[in-house]
Amino acid sequence: MSILTITGPIVGAAIVAIITYLTSRPRMRAEVLKLEAESEYTRAETTKILSEFQARPSDVAGDNALPRGWYVTGARPEDYEFGIDTQIFHSGRTSAFIQARPGAQEFASVAQVFKADAYRGKRIRLSAMLKTRDVANWAGLWLRIDDALHNVMEFDNTSDNRSISGTQVWSQRDIVLDVPGEGATIRIGFILTGLGRVWCDDVSVEEVGPEIPVTRNTEDVRAHPENLDFEGGTN
């Protein structure tokens, strides 16, 4: 039996494997890009909804009692369960959690609202410890400051590089915003988008100095319109 007879099928199989790998790579890249785009879209939509949402309490509270002073809100809170966990916590004896039900969509949040009186004209930092299990999309914090007519004055969430996904140990997340003089209420919360579970513990709201930068994306906005006739060249 010749060497070619023996090695022919092996070489052929190797060539097929290489061709299959090379031709599948573009499809794999396309799938990865698609998933990344979908994730970014979900984050953008969540940010938009949270910044516009009136954040009214929901009647959906799950099978467990909510921590005193907190309420449930979100785009589809009925797709989630909420409560306190006496087995997993960062400190003390309990933590709060959000657990997605099978097929959960949009997002849900455990939130709290309080008057801005003590914080007007000051810079505040919202901090909390978060832990996740099998979070398919992302989990994080959000902070919103409204005026007396419920118009949003300041808003930020951790849907950027501060978000958490997958299974992660306890880690701290922060949001820093300035409270305007016309601020009437401050809303805080932790959030879960999509499948998985998030725990939250050791939440704090404190005044910080000007040396601590705000976390909201502050774009440089020009004072006057520019190049309205499109004759000013390109960037």
pLDDT at 3: 45
Q: Which strand (E) or helix (H) includes residue 33?
A: helix 3-52
Nearest CA to 79 out of 131, 15, 22, 137 is that of 137
Fold for 46-208, please state it: Jelly Rolls (2.60.120)
pLDDT of residue 44: 55
At residue 77's C-alpha, the angle toward residues 76 and 80, to 5°, is 110
Cβ atoms within 10 Å, residue 223: 5
pLDDT at site 26: 58
User: What is residue 221's predicted lDDT score, i.e. its pLDDT?
Assistant: 52
Domain ranges of the chain: 46-208
What pTM did the predictor assign? 0.72
Tell me the pLDDT of the chain (235 aa) as tens digits: 554 454 455 555 555 555 565 555 555 555 545 545 544 554 555 655 565 555 555 555 444 578 999 999 999 999 999 999 999 999 999 999 999 999 999 999 999 999 999 999 999 999 999 999 999 999 999 999 999 999 999 999 998 889 999 999 999 999 999 999 999 999 999 999 999 999 999 999 999 999 999 998 655 556 677 777 777 776 6
- Residue 146 is predicted with a pLDDT of 96
- Residues contacting residue 136 through CB under 8 Å, at least 6 positions apart: 165, 194, 195, 196
